[in-house]
Structure 1
């Protein structure tokens, strides 16, 4: 809370004739950086520092735009230095046509392994009887089904 009051007191450095405030650049940058932290509400920060929320949002957007222009682009942790759009347009004219490169058709995935036909007849200790023809496709499905049935409570006719 102390930091908030300190920043609030440093933020406004004067008033113009028309009633608009003049802001300290350092304090303004600090406020914008606080707004960019995860979970911080720009509107709440604006209200706490006696700033119009719309104005603070514009400052945040302008700050992000400047940061994006200054810093190289990073993809998967690898830094890529990209020239800005304006500098590319000035450096060289863009061609009217884009070359088309034909790619080979995608390779089809290998065929899936053949499925097994499993037949099963089970009588569990809890009295559950199960007979399956070819309804189960994989051994994992069969194992799961047997485990589920083994957890079922005994029926009234099979209890001692």
Structure 2
């Protein structure tokens, strides 16, 4: 792409607002973005030569450039999820005590050393005993043990 940089530099800024901000020509801005996307072009160097903040140019590239079209194509391809599947234990826990099956609801509040707060409300005694027993059986790494 052969571009007359001086001509582009003159056409890029239309005027200055009272606060000092520039108003840019849309066509010249699109040309500038195309120029920035050429292989081997340093966006920071080009922005500095034109007197434009490099962060502003990066925003133009995101908003107006062909990179936006390429991003939609890339986004449609499946990529690895940042989430990890966590296996859920479904083993049957033997009842702790049969007489805990009375009709009273209880609550439990606990604050763990890492700041996590656990709160159970309206739980039957038997369910609470099962939860505590299951939690007691979980393996704990050295970094999370107290």
TM category (shorter chain) comes to 0.3 to 0.5
Q: Whose RCO is larger (CA < 8 A, sep 6+)? A: 2
Larger radius of gyration between Structure 1 and Structure 2: 1
Scaled by the length of structure 2, the TM-score of the pair is 0.44
